[in-house]
Amino acid sequence: MKILLIYLALFVGQYNTLQDKPVVRLHPHQDVIPTEFGGDLVELINAPPRVQLPPLRLADSHGRPWSIEVKNLGPGTVTIVGKAQFHVEVPVGHSVNIKATDTGYSSGR
């Protein structure tokens, strides 16, 4: 029993170090990602087909460049849109990194 607890403690400790970003969920049917989600992993569940990014902000609340990772958990493809013609489609089960730049938003998978 003692060995089982040690293995469990090691597993939980390693699992926590694998998540380097806080995970937040956009409320179902909410169509705007809040500015304060900067630096987080944003999970989308039952999101509308089109989700708006917040007004452009170059730094998050910790002073780091504003960025998010968006993961779509379904049920359909979601298009993330921002100002200045920015848009990116996120199919179910996929993630995309979005960051603010001097000229707008940019993305990468």
pLDDT tens by residue, 8-37: 565 655 554 445 789 999 998 899 999 999
Rounded to two decimals, what is the model's pTM? 0.78
22-108 is classed in which CATH architecture?
Sandwich (2.60)
Position 30 scores a pLDDT of 92
What does DSSP assign to residue 38? T
98: region left, alpha or beta (phi > 0 left; psi from -120 to 50 alpha):
beta
Hey, is 79 helix, strand or coil?
strand
Where do the structural domains in the chain lie, given as residue ranges? 22-108
